Structure 1
Amino acid sequence: MSLEKALAHSKAGMLAESVRLNTVASNIASANAESTNANDAYKAKKVVFSRVMNRTAGIMELKAVGVQESQAQHKIRFDPGHPMADENGYVYGSNVNTIEEMTDMQSATKSYETNALVVGSIKQMMNKTLQLGK
């Protein structure tokens, strides 16, 4: 594999992981959101990845191709005095699992860092190669 293709792989990985990190950040920020019904309550989002052919670089690369909403159960609590309570006294919270989100964030961060290290190593190899030609 050429160094340019390796750079393209790492770039694609970094872009995909940045989408995942932004999605996780949005989920964590909305973890405590409340609503008067389950349909309007915040739904956790998950990034959908796929292997896509990059015809320019001639490689298969990982790409974020969409975002899906979680179908997990929303947090429901009985609090008739709450301003967001429905006619039955229930308040609906998000379905964000903060432990799962923090784990996902750590995984995405490590993957991003690994790709960044690869890019740094490739740049060093390219510089050494250019110095050999002098």
Structure 2
Amino acid sequence: MSDSLSKRRLKMWIRLLGVTRAAEGELREFLRVQHGTTLPRFDVMAALYRRREGVTMSELSRMLLVSNGNATTVVDRLESDGLVRRTPSETDRRTVFVALTAEGLAQFEGLAAGHEAEVARMFGGLSEADLDALTDILKRMGA
């Protein structure tokens, strides 16, 4: 591998990381200001929205790539706000399932619509061809 190609890859990585961090920062601020919530709460609710039947706390932690403790802290707050419910397993008393309540489901749908609109705004300068090319590149990088 040529040294110049290696340096270009490093610069690309730094740029990709910068764009990711900036976008995440904008989304954190958007959720805080417009919806009075946090990105971790949004992420937990999004994971539970995708798995409506509920998941164990361990599954939730794996889905979010966070520790059980971090997931538990967010779920505790969501539960106290009436947005999620915990249900003990009927077959294993050590296992607890967590799922969105009807109120949590409704609130998440509003958050998700706002989140999608904000992402569309943030990346509004990209054409359809840009999106296709970037998506293709990212898929190849992830393979």
- Pick the TM interval, shorter chain: 0.3 to 0.5
Structure with the larger RCO, 1 or 2 (CA within 8 Å, 6+ apart): 1
Say which structure is richer in helix: 2
TM-score (normalised: structure 2) = 0.33
Over alpha carbons, which structure has the higher Rg?
1
TM-score (normalised: structure 1) = 0.35
